Amino acid sequence: MTETPTRKKWKQDPEAVQANILAAAAEEFAEHGLTGARVDEIAARTRTSKRMIYYYFGDKESLYRQVLEEAYRKVRSEEAALDLTSLPPLDALRKLVEFTFDHHRANENFIRLVMIENVHKGKHLAESPLIARVNPSAIERIEDICARGQKDGSIRSDVSPHELHWLISAASFFNVSNRFSFGISFNKTLFTHDGQQKLRELTCKAVIEAARKP
Amino acid sequence: MTETPTRKKWKQDPEAVQANILAAAAEEFAEHGLTGARVDEIAARTRTSKRMIYYYFGDKESLYRQVLEEAYRKVRSEEAALDLTSLPPLDALRKLVEFTFDHHRANENFIRLVMIENVHKGKHLAESPLIARVNPSAIERIEDICARGQKDGSIRSDVSPHELHWLISAASFFNVSNRFSFGISFNKTLFTHDGQQKLRELTCKAVIEAARKP
Amino acid sequence: MTETPTRKKWKQDPEAVQANILAAAAEEFAEHGLTGARVDEIAARTRTSKRMIYYYFGDKESLYRQVLEEAYRKVRSEEAALDLTSLPPLDALRKLVEFTFDHHRANENFIRLVMIENVHKGKHLAESPLIARVNPSAIERIEDICARGQKDGSIRSDVSPHELHWLISAASFFNVSNRFSFGISFNKTLFTHDGQQKLRELTCKAVIEAARKP
Amino acid sequence: MTETPTRKKWKQDPEAVQANILAAAAEEFAEHGLTGARVDEIAARTRTSKRMIYYYFGDKESLYRQVLEEAYRKVRSEEAALDLTSLPPLDALRKLVEFTFDHHRANENFIRLVMIENVHKGKHLAESPLIARVNPSAIERIEDICARGQKDGSIRSDVSPHELHWLISAASFFNVSNRFSFGISFNKTLFTHDGQQKLRELTCKAVIEAARKP
DNA sequence: AATGAATGAGCATTCATTCAT
DNA sequence: CATGAATGAATGCTCATTCAT
């Protein structure tokens, strides 16, 4: 071996340091919210020091904003990998709902960050120019399905892609975001494996029926 | 007259002081979350002093818990006023959805408190014995609709009241809780008066179709 | 003895606590300037804690402002004790110069605070409504001397009280404020007891000659 | 041509870099004082980097000391250009006062640096061997005037050049250093163009009368 | 000669909470 | 029942300085 082993691998690799901070911050913010998160705790989750957080990100709120942006970017880019163009419209719609439902469940921290941001009334999202650029793709995909379905007669002509997206999002998001309060207040069996399969199917059917031409 | 005339009427009236604190705290917690809320700020919204908060409620977290309980109690009691027993099942269902959708919109602070509590993973709700007693009524009402509908053949026999309630809640809750992030990311017109009317109707149809016997 | 001796005499005496903080802060600010002063160090000079500084004064800059105000108030009130009305105008003028010269020497910390404030371009003084009220008295006294002197023919009719005050202040202030740099650069004997007596006399003569009717 | 063409001309030229740093530091120190000045801010005012400041000047305090020395050197060399030997003693004295008064007004940053150094009790000046060598010239000039005046009978025999210099300096320095506090406390009109002309004349007369043989 | 990255010690300030009357 | 005063333990952030190349 010619390589000298060093304890601090990332040294002199600013991008790695920043990525490391961002990841640690994402966890801390998702866990405790903007006000609840502790910069000291973020630093502790890091391979670097608190000082570097300020060196690269300025202050807590800027760091939070960048965490939020990064979370949106990552989630949207994963969604973009889903190719629905080869499926018949209603099959594509079902696949989209299933994917979205599952994807939300698999990204709890993203859900939590969005919840937290909504507690802050979307203030930081509104200040971010990136968000506007990264989100439209989600709508475009559903617009494509609607357009194809209206052409081949499988989807109603008066359907709104935005409304459809809203319904898919509401079910998929709420399913994760409110499972604590909902589970406590009502029925925890909804959040078992079987319960989740049923809610997933319920969501699929509700969305498809809302779109299908009678 | 049994009332002793005092200049400061609300003083010497522990219950009024407590109610005043609870109302002030509800606003502060709804606005800023559990960690974001400031005890000083709650005291400032109050007609009494910070010291009294500790006198009556012990600490910040206990106060928060009581605010949460009070919020649930109030909202559920308003819901209880809705009488659906005289309507045919599907009409009752529609009315229930409309009511729920509107009621959520009208109680933003309650929605915010529930969001906040979910950020805290329902920890305080789980510790509260009151919640379990106060919530089942919401399910009972929908169970009644389903039972009546299954009897008269208007509602499918395999429908689950819990799932139906979940779908109604998801749409109604998300519509309020996520309107900031959703509006910024996608389309703000969904949250205009017209947009809301359409989403309300979309929710009604989706729920009714999910329940209706084909 | 019926009185229990307590270590913290000033407890429950907010005004004493505030005065104690103000005195400690005056020393620290005079010694190190606004930026150089350390809140921890002020607290250490105090019989109370750092927390109380913030409790009563809000922040470092407000504390500094109040220290400045208090310093002006104290100095002006000491000056006010000087009664010159019974002396002939030129004798009164001499006595005023001597007093001012000595008073500046005796109040080095006040001089230092004023120097520091001038480094900050008088920003905090300008924000203080008190200063405008407390200072005019210094001018009024000299105006009175001039008026009396112009009446009895001992003082020139074109003399300006403001200019005279400026000259007295310049000599008296500079004598204290710049004695370090001046002593190092030129002659330290100016700042010995004898040297100071001569500078005091020089100032008296210069001011009197500037005012005396030829 | 002996000059090597480089894109970054001032680089590779250590003296230019140092001069650039010194100029930037002078401004920052004059503006904010020793403790108030920020090394980052000095670097930002520079055409080079923060690292170079430490490379060439060691630390903040050494840089400050050099700024101070440079300021004294520059001011004294400007003063040296004033040739008074051809004028009659009292005319020379008047010209010296006028020049000093004007020169102080024209070099506010120097005044500020001297104020700041006096706040630090002349500590850095005392450590600098250069100051002692550079300053005596100011005294020599006034000694020359006095000597000539005593010879021709226009200046009193008991006059002290050091005291005279002190009086000139006091008026000229205070006029700039304390114009903020003095203006706020008393009369801002003293610092208008007309006001300054009057104070300049007042200073001239006071100094000349102090020196003139009766 | 020159520099972007890194850092420890310190700094002003805030927060929930308790004391003493 | 009521309250102004008091407080320890953080908390976010800054500063002059040095490392590694």
Q: Domain spans of chain D?
A: 1-58, 68-211
Average pLDDT in the D112-127 region? 96
Strand F and B56 CB separated by under 7 Å: no
Cα gap D211→D214, rounded to integer Å: 9
The pLDDT-based confidence of A9 (bands split at 50, 70, 90) is very low
**Secondary structure (DSSP) of D108-141:** HHHHHHHHHHHHTTTHHHHH-HHHHHHSHHHHHH
The pLDDT-based confidence of C9 (bands split at 50, 70, 90) is very low
Cα gap C71→D185, rounded to integer Å: 14
The verdict on a CB contact (< 8 Å) between C166 and D182 is yes
Scanning D174-213 for CB atoms below 8 A from C yields 174-175, 177-187, 189-190, 198-199, 202-203, 205-207, 209-210
Average pLDDT in the B172-197 region? 95
Half-sphere exposure of C65 (CA within 13 A, CB side): 16
Contact by Cβ (8 Å): C124, C65? yes
Cα gap D149→D212, rounded to integer Å: 9
Q: Report the candidate in C135, C132, C202, C193 with the shortest Cα–Cα distance to residue C168.
A: C202
Q: Report the candidate in C152, C11, C148, C135 with the shortest Cα–Cα distance to residue C73.
A: C135
Residue in chain A nearest B199 by alpha carbon: A163
pTM given for the model: 0.90
- pLDDT tens digit string along A33-84? 999 999 999 999 999 999 999 999 999 999 999 999 999 999 999 999 999 9
Q: Which DSSP state fits B48? A: S
- What local confidence, expressed as pLDDT, does residue B12 receive? 57
CA C52 distance to own-chain centroid: 27
- What local confidence, expressed as pLDDT, does residue D9 receive? 46
Least confident of A146-155, C9-18, D136-145: C9-18
The pLDDT-based confidence of B128 (bands split at 50, 70, 90) is confident
Average pLDDT score over chain C = 92
Q: Which two tokens stand for residue B136?
A: 């089942």
Cα gap B206→B209, rounded to integer Å: 5
Same fold, C1-58 and C68-211: no
Tell whether the model's pLDDT for residue B4 goes beyond 50. no
Residue that wins the pLDDT comparison between A141 and B135: A141
Which strand F nucleotides have any atom less than 7 A from protein CB atoms? 1-9, 11-21
Per residue, the 3-state secondary structure of D31-99, as one string, reads HHHHHHCCHHHHHHCCCCCHHHHHHHHCCHHHHHHHHHHHHHHHHHHHHHCCCCCCCCHHHHHHHHHHH
Strand partners, A155: A212
Cα gap B43→B50, rounded to integer Å: 5
* Interface A:D, ≥3 CB–CB pairs < 8 Å: no
Least confident of B81-90, C179-188, D51-60: C179-188
Tell whether the model's pLDDT for residue D5 goes beyond 60. no
Average pLDDT in the C13-40 region? 96
Contact by Cβ (8 Å): A39, A53? yes
Helix (H, G, I), strand (E, B) or coil at A112: helix
Amino acid at position B131, single letter = I
Q: How far is D128 from chain C (nearest CA, A)?
A: 10
**Chain D residues touching C131 at Cβ < 8 A:** 184-185
Tell whether the model's pLDDT for residue D126 goes beyond 70. yes
Residue that wins the pLDDT comparison between C167 and B128: C167
Cα gap A29→A111, rounded to integer Å: 12
Residue in chain B nearest A177 by alpha carbon: B118
The pLDDT-based confidence of C13 (bands split at 50, 70, 90) is confident
CATH class of D1-58: mainly alpha
Cα gap B146→B90, rounded to integer Å: 9
Per cent of chain B over pLDDT 90 is 81
Strand F near-CB residues (< 7 Å), D 83-142: none
- What local confidence, expressed as pLDDT, does residue A2 receive? 33
Residue that wins the pLDDT comparison between A134 and A15: A15
Flag whether residue B15 sits within 8 Å of chain A, measured between CB atoms.
no
- What local confidence, expressed as pLDDT, does residue C11 receive? 57
- What local confidence, expressed as pLDDT, does residue A6 receive? 38
**Secondary structure (DSSP) of B169-213:** HHHHHHHHHTHHHHHHHS-GGGGSHHHHHHHHHHHHHHHHHHHB-
Cα gap B126→B80, rounded to integer Å: 23
Q: Which DSSP state fits B13? A: -
Phi, psi for residue A122 in degrees, rounded to 5:
70, 15
Give the C-alpha distances (Å, rounded to integers) separating B76 from B84, B112, B124, C166. Answer: 15, 16, 18, 77
**For the domain bounded by A68-211, which CATH number is listed?**
1.10.357.10
Tell whether the model's pLDDT for residue A11 goes beyond 60. no
**Chain C residues touching D189 at Cβ < 8 A:** 162
Tell whether the model's pLDDT for residue A197 goes beyond 80. yes
Flag whether residue A138 sits within 8 Å of chain B, measured between CB atoms.
yes
Average pLDDT in the B183-198 region? 94
b/e map B156-171, b = 16+ CB within 10 Å: eeebbbbbbbbbbbbb
Q: How far is D163 from chain C (nearest CA, A)?
A: 7
CA B37 distance to own-chain centroid: 20
**Chain A residues touching B162 at Cβ < 8 A:** 186-187, 189-190
**Secondary structure (DSSP) of B82-108:** ---TTS-HHHHHHHHHHHHHHHHHH-H
Q: Which DSSP state fits A189? A: G
**Chain C residues touching D162 at Cβ < 8 A:** 186-187, 189-190
Contact by Cβ (8 Å): D21, D56? yes
Contact by Cβ (8 Å): C10, C20? yes
Flag whether residue C151 sits within 8 Å of chain D, measured between CB atoms.
no
Show Cβ contacts of residue A179 under 8 Å, excluding neighbours closer than 6 positions. A190, A191, B118
- pLDDT tens digit string along C92-111? 999 999 999 999 999 999 99
Residue that wins the pLDDT comparison between A8 and B76: B76
Tell whether the model's pLDDT for residue D10 goes beyond 60. no
Tell whether the model's pLDDT for residue B1 goes beyond 70. no
CA C193 distance to own-chain centroid: 21
Helix (H, G, I), strand (E, B) or coil at B66: helix
Tell whether the model's pLDDT for residue D3 goes beyond 80. no
Strand F and C55 CB separated by under 7 Å: yes
Flag whether residue D77 sits within 8 Å of chain C, measured between CB atoms.
no
Q: Which DSSP state fits B3? A: P
First to last CA, chain D: 66
Average pLDDT in the B124-132 region? 85
The verdict on a CB contact (< 8 Å) between C125 and D180 is yes
Phi, psi for residue C2 in degrees, rounded to 5:
-95, -15
Q: Which of B181, B187, B206 sits opposite A114 (nearest CB)?
A: B181
**Chain C residues touching D205 at Cβ < 8 A:** 210
